[in-house]
A and B are shown apart, each in its own frame.
Chain A
Amino acid sequence: MLNRKAITASMLSAVLLLSACSKGNNDAGTDSASQPAGNASAPAGKKVELRMSWWGSDERHERTQKAIELFEQKNPGITITGEYSGFDGYMDKLNTQIAAGNAPDLIQMGGNIKEYVDKNALLDLKPYVGGILNLDDFNEGLVKSATFNDKLYGVTLGVSSSSLLYNASMFEKAGVALPTDQWTYEDFKSSAIEIAAKLGKGHYGSYDLSSDVATLASYLGGVGKELYRDGDRRFEKQDIVGWFAIWDELRKAGAIVPADVQVANPPTAVDKSLLVNGQVAIQGASASQIFGFQELTQDRLALALFPNGPAGSGMVQPISGQYLTAYEGTEHPEEVAKFINFFVNDPEAGVILGSTRGVPPSGKIRDTLAAQSTPVDKVLYDYISLVSDTAPPVVYQQFPLDNEFTKLLQVTSEKIAFKAKSIDSAVDEFMTEVDKLLLKAKAQ
């Protein structure tokens, strides 16, 4: 990770490895407005009004609105009304709107896109690809991740990846070597134990990641298993027992955050994480979240890969953090496709949007942004390219009924951490419930 810092200049071309089918980057780096792709203006006299919903914080709202204004300028006749809010309740509102047949034409979607595809709530964009919608600059994997049954249901807005977010200043203070690209669970354990020991009471090497689905998935990859593929789980009871044993060992050594402290200060909530006040050195996070964390602390934060297992790296290829999707019931599919195209391909829009939704998926836009990236941007870009180099070329399959699975893992982890159950009996219960979930998913 360290020596990677040295080559930040070439980081974006490294990211470009992501986009195998990228058309190269010769004409990038300009924000001349000369070529708004697919920008034939709407037929005169026809006013089209679209609605677009997204979640985010004030900065994302501002940038998105600016981009929309630019689009409206370039496309007289189309107006887009933003319906934006924080994340709280976003999905609830969307579900309500879909239930009433009143959803916005353009919808920002998260990792649960498949659920909405299965329920036929989203529009197939395939007919527009190559015409109005240009995805030539997109890496195949990113397009695939929104392709189901040979139909395309969304366009990636930002690339991210699961990661270990760490407080580099704490490592330095404790005199512990920073994580390397090759580190193993043994390295992880010894670093965590050492940091906790050196920094003293109230300081921990790591959060308890036993409840983190992404970390578990990578662990299973590292031992030659998988979380899920094609209707079945691809792990056994002893794999999960082994998983919880690692965290149990660390817990006993005082190297990870005790259960009660973790619940009170969950790493998933940026404002409560103990990473920002220098009490915990490592936590799991989606890589693009580093912006939110870094804002709250003077310490230097960085990103590391999940540790390797005996079968090598279990990292998952970079994923689409967010998609822009179209509502199945939209009356103006063409204008919607046109806007999506603008949103991800227009160089000016790219500059306006920056990396507010993760690393931009289009190679050209990434090159444009390279010139003006901040140090945190660089850490993120660097990391994403590292992941795409390291992760095995397997298409990751999410566990079905993702929300229920996540909750199940969390409760299991809490039962063990709070000593309400032994590892063995908690895992037994976990396996039973997992199989129930699989049955339920099949029945749907």
Chain B
Amino acid sequence: MVINGKMFRSVVFHALVLGCGLIMLYPVFWLLSSSVKPTTEIFTSKSLWPTEFTFQHYSKGWFGLRNIQFGRFFLNSIYLCLVAVIGTVISSSMAAFAFARIQFPLRNLFFALMLGTIMLPGHVTLIPQYIMFHKIGWVDTFLPLIAPKFVGDAFFVFLIVQFIRGIPKELDESAKIDGCGWFTLFFRIILPLSFPALITAAIFTFMGTWDDFFGQLIYLSDIKKFTVPLGLRLFLDSSGSSNWGAVFAMSVLSILPSLIIFFLGQKYFTQGIATTGLKG
């Protein structure tokens, strides 16, 4: 494999991939640099390199709020996201299995209805949904944000359906000949084989929940239950003064959990099924 021409090509290739990636990351560098610039410099200086480094924004953002630390928001967000991930993966994969592999009446109707739920803009179901959750006393708890995750999200159900349908059906047949029931088939064959899709769903759920400002804003009121997106907005009064330094500093930190999850998670879906599957 190691031929000189090839090596040269590979260096060029890596340089290109890395170079383009870094250009795409310019806004991120800007964010990073603004988080350590003095406040008066953030919007007035064009340079990415601050004249003086200050970590004041980080300490103001983390410790600057009365009676609460930003860390609390991180814990809340992480809790919410992890529960959401568990709920989504379980419920979506179950529904997906039903849609992809089991023949039952009204299947296509239900599938269409499910896709329909993501076609109606959420802004118009928000008020009725809020009223409903208010009536059962769920407002200002995490429940209105968590419960829907245990239902299964159309996006992920559809995604997993597509992956399951990519698995040859002969596997099912042979499993059934071996006397496997639907549950064994689901747990022993289908789940392991759609592992990349499940990891993808898990990562996306984590990030989507992490980022969901509007839902969390509407349902959470007590500052002790605030999440990271809500915490960030505490510094932002678009009608008056904003503490942009703190917003940028906390934005940088708020990307980290998703980044770590992604970096760890991608190892798994790169393994593919050739090594993880076909053992069942």
Instruction: Tell me if B237 and A296 are in contact (CB < 8 A).
Output: no
Q: Would you give the shortest CB distance from A150 to chain B, in whole angstroms?
A: 30
Contact partner of A55 among B214, B222, B237, B243, CB < 8 A?
A: B237
Contact partner of A83 among B66, B130, B221, CB < 8 A?
A: B221
Q: State which size class the interface on B falls in.
A: 35 or more
Q: Mark B199-232, 1 if CB is under 8 A from A, else 0.
A: 0000000000000011001100111000000100
**Contacts A58-B64, A58-B246, A61-B65 given: A86-B233 contact, CB under 8 Å?**
yes
Q: Tell whether A277 is near chain B: CB-to-CB under 8 Å.
A: yes
Contact partner of A100 among B39, B130, B222, B240, CB < 8 A?
A: B130
Q: How far is the CA of A272 from the CA of B236 in the complex (A)?
A: 13
B window 241-263: CB within 8 A of A: 241-244, 246
Total CB contacts across the A-B interface at under 8 A = 123
Q: How far is the CA of A110 from the CA of B39 in the complex (A)?
A: 28
Complex contacts, B214 vs chain A, CB 8 Å: 89, 92
Complex contacts, B223 vs chain A, CB 8 Å: 82-84
Size of the A side of the interface (Cβ < 8 Å), in residues, is 44
Q: How far is the CA of A82 from the CA of B221 in the complex (A)?
A: 8
Q: Tell whether A56 is near chain B: CB-to-CB under 8 Å.
A: yes
Complex contacts, B167 vs chain A, CB 8 Å: none
Q: Tell whether A271 is near chain B: CB-to-CB under 8 Å.
A: yes
Complex contacts, A59 vs chain B, CB 8 Å: 241, 243
Instruction: Tell me if B235 and A58 are in contact (CB < 8 A).
Output: yes
Complex contacts, A62 vs chain B, CB 8 Å: 65-66
Q: Would you give the shortest CB distance from A112 to chain B, in whole angstroms?
A: 12
Instruction: Tell me if B240 and A96 are in contact (CB < 8 A).
Output: no
**Contacts A83-B222, A88-B236 given: A277-B44 contact, CB under 8 Å?**
yes
Contact partner of A93 among B39, B44, B218, B235, CB < 8 A?
A: B218
Q: How far is the CA of A84 from the CA of B44 in the complex (A)?
A: 30
Q: Tell whether B118 is near chain A: CB-to-CB under 8 Å.
A: no
Contact partner of A87 among B218, B221, B222, B238, CB < 8 A?
A: B238
**Contacts A58-B246, A85-B230, A297-B44 given: A96-B218 contact, CB under 8 Å?**
yes
Q: How far is the CA of A100 from the CA of B50 in the complex (A)?
A: 48
Contact partner of B40 among A84, A288, A296, CB < 8 A?
A: A296
Q: Would you give the shortest CB distance from B145 to chain A, in whole angstroms?
A: 14
Complex contacts, B134 vs chain A, CB 8 Å: 100-102
Q: Tell whether A325 is near chain B: CB-to-CB under 8 Å.
A: no
**Contacts A85-B230, A92-B218 given: A60-B131 contact, CB under 8 Å?**
no
Q: Tell whether B4 is near chain A: CB-to-CB under 8 Å.
A: no
Contact partner of B240 among A92, A270, A277, A278, CB < 8 A?
A: A270
Complex contacts, B221 vs chain A, CB 8 Å: 51, 53, 81, 83
Instruction: Tell me if A110 and B239 are in contact (CB < 8 A).
Output: yes
A window 326-384: CB within 8 A of B: none
**Contacts A92-B218, A292-B242 given: A56-B44 contact, CB under 8 Å?**
no
Q: Tell whether B183 is near chain A: CB-to-CB under 8 Å.
A: no
Complex contacts, A272 vs chain B, CB 8 Å: 43
Instruction: Tell me if A57 and B44 are in contact (CB < 8 A).
Output: no
Contact partner of B234 among A58, A92, A292, A296, CB < 8 A?
A: A58
Identify 20 residue pairs between A and B in the complex whose beta-carbon atoms are under 8 Å apart, listed by A's number. A57-B236, A58-B234, A58-B235, A61-B234, A86-B233, A88-B236, A89-B218, A92-B214, A92-B218, A96-B127, A99-B127, A99-B131, A269-B238, A270-B238, A271-B244, A278-B44, A292-B240, A292-B241, A296-B40, A296-B42
